[in-house]
A and B are shown apart, each in its own frame.
Chain A
Amino acid sequence: MKKLNRRKFLKLAALTGAGLLMPRQANAVGGMLEQLTSALRSLKGNKDVPPPIPGVKFGMAIDLGLCIGCRRCMYACKRENNVSDSISPPWIIVFETESKIGIEGYYVHPKKPGEGTTMMYTKLRRDKWYMPTQCNHCDNAPCVQVCPTGASYKDEDGLVVIDYNLCIGCRYCMTACPYQARRFNWWKPKISPDRLNPLVPVRHHGIVEKCTFCIHRTRRGKTTRCVEVCQNKARIFGNLNDPDSEISRLIATERNFRLKDKLNTEPRIWYLTSTKNKPMVWTTPLPPPKGIRGLES
């Protein structure tokens, strides 16, 4: 056996000490990291929005037989939610289609997909169908799945929420959303002060936003703004957990479909396809959105 000199002894002692201390230090570092993570996670508690109401699951139904395509929901949503003028199209887009099943009938003309469907219509026609689209607040949301920081998350009440403080603006969610429902703040927000809603945060440039199902209203017991302004009551919003709510009853009894259901995204907007024999008010439509980036005018 080799002789143990002082230098070797010190080396051995240092190594043993380090070996004994390492797990403790690792634990301490791990603990600190955990604290930091949980602190930041608690920050993530998204102070911008009210907390979800326990036991509630929100959903929406849109009766295509009653929608006349007036675009009032689109403009009201924009005003209510502090959507910047630089964001175009706004969160809601309304399509004019030939098919009763709305834009699901994309391939009505197999040779010319999409023919007979437009978002730029300027006159309302009784022989056409109108279909508003927006964020579907999917139960199995691809945008939530791909978001790297968890800024997009699915809350207990069924809403897909964006924490604007955590969005890094990578736009992966925008490419992943099958409904093209997300918008990006390409420029600094432009909102005239007279139309600012103090309940809704203003989003700065470089982050993503989308329909929130008027989270600032619905979580305080009100309905969404688009439902409120719809003159034909084509939109129905409510609690899906309550079997007696209007929305639960309509989904159970009326013919309906969900957009791109085959993708298994489990959207929370149901389109009712009742016929157009209900009493309706026909008005002139508001103008189509202007200055849309990337679209041929």
Chain B
Amino acid sequence: MREFIKEFKKNTSRSFYIFNGILLLIIMWGFYNWGLALIEGPGITGSNDFVPWGLFLVGFVFFVGASAGATLIGLMIHAFSREDYKVLGIRAILIGLLSLLAAVLNLMMDVGQPIRAVLIPWVLHNMTSMLIYTSSTYFIFGGLFLAELFYALKIARGTATQTDEKIAKWLAIIAVPFALGILHAPHGALFAVVKARDYWHTPLLPPHFAVSALVTGTSFMILMAIVTSKIEKKELVSRGALEHMGGLLAFFITLNLFFDFYDIFVLKYSEEPEGIEILNLLTGRFVPFFILNFGGLFLALMVLLNKRGRSIRALTFVSCLSILAILAYRWDLVIGGQILPLLPGFPEIHYYPTIPEIAMEAGIIALFLFLYTLLTKILPMEEGSPKPIEAEIGIIKKWR
């Protein structure tokens, strides 16, 4: 242990302590406000009886989506035998795990009775509730990620047997259909089953959620690879792998835009009064989010299809833009879906996150970053340096 601490101290710079110190302060600020909400009441948030789900639900669906990247990288390594992705393997699983943790924390901060929320569903569960179903998937998925992490660490330490490698491979392969089918799509269904709200009540929503999860997941992975390379001052992944991820992102963005377009097209074409109202909202009070969602994704796609769109700088820009665009979509969906009154005669409904609410969300994000930086420092991250595969770079060039 003493040696481990010595080693840890030797490998950490001053900026690491400063960065994590700031993160710890933000975490404390967030958790202090959570305590306040538990004592005083959730009234310190901006939610109200008309918009009962606020910032935390936006964060919740966003983080659930972000975990998709981990499964994707695992699939690349094990199903497509992309050796150059291997360096991202453990980092990706960590991001997946921490995203799930952040999603659950968002949910816990949102509910009025978090202790009951943890205990009661073990005994009393209404199986017709989508929430009980989605909540149980965190355990399944958390378990899957932990198992993946266990075997990936074994492989990284060089203690894995052939059976271990086989298990790791199959865990990674089943994770993707599993994630799309039982994690991401059901989160769309959480909203889609609400027949009271026309913006949510569409069968397109579950696949839309799954695709937007893939966009956020891939963007997260690209950003993680680039930022880690910058911090560690070494090329973490080959250019080939980065360009390949750019290609994947372009594909997922196209799919996402397809869903976005048909959502709006059907609302506009059918000219149902409820649909017109939603369109009026999206192109009126919510226009900045609407532009960021559509415009952001479209611009990202254009950059990716451009010849120079796969440079490090372009990929950084594109991933940030995609994350913001999907965040805007989540905001439009979660808040926009509630802000229209279900009965006429109410004055205009508003929802603005309050400072304590923002502090709590910032606390979650800071915790995510803190645990990520700490764990990547402690755990062995890779077997060796990446070896760009000439042949595959050739394939990518051809594909482009």
Residues of chain A touching chain B, judged by Cβ–Cβ distance below 8 Å, are: 36-37, 40-41, 44, 86, 89, 93, 95-97, 103, 106-107, 110, 113-114, 117-120, 133, 142, 145-150, 166-172, 174-180, 182-188, 205-208, 263, 292-297
Contact = CB atoms under 8 A, between A and B. Distances in A.
B74 to A, nearest CB: 30
Contact of A95 (B42, B113, B197, B343): B343
Interface string B36-62: 001011110011111111000000000
A220 B52 CA distance: 34
Interface in B93-147: 107, 110-114, 116-117, 120-121, 123-126, 128-132, 135
Nearest to A146: B129
A16 to B, nearest CB: 25
B132 A184 contact: no
B80 interface: no
Given A110-B273, A113-B273, A171-B52, A120 B347 contact: yes
Nearest to A263: B195
Contact of B110 (A96, A146, A170): A170
A150 B277 contact: no
Contacts of B284: none
B120 A149 contact: yes
Chain A contact surface mostly: loop
B351 interface: yes
Nearest to B43: A186
Contact of A205 (B112, B121, B343, B351): B112
A102 to B, nearest CB: 10
B124 A186 contact: no
B346 A119 contact: yes
B343 A103 contact: yes
Interface in B16-49: 38, 40-43, 46-49
Interface residues of B, number: 53
A166 B196 contact: no
A146 B197 CA distance: 14
Given A103-B345, A148-B121, A178 B195 contact: yes
A182 B49 contact: yes
A170 B48 contact: no
A148 B343 contact: no
24 contacts: A40-B123, A95-B343, A114-B345, A148-B135, A150-B124, A168-B114, A168-B120, A168-B121, A170-B110, A170-B112, A170-B131, A171-B111, A179-B342, A180-B49, A180-B341, A184-B42, A188-B40, A205-B43, A206-B41, A206-B42, A293-B48, A294-B47, A294-B350, A295-B346
B49 to A, nearest CB: 5
Interface centre among A95, A96, A117, A175 (most CB of B within 10 A): A175
Contacts of B273: 106-107, 110, 113
Interface centre among B193, B195, B349 (most CB of A within 10 A): B195
B117 A168 contact: yes
B126 A148 contact: yes
Contacts of B344: 95, 97, 103, 106, 113-114, 117
Nearest to A39: B123
B348 interface: yes
Given A95-B343, A180-B343, A297-B347, A145 B43 contact: no
B194 A176 contact: yes
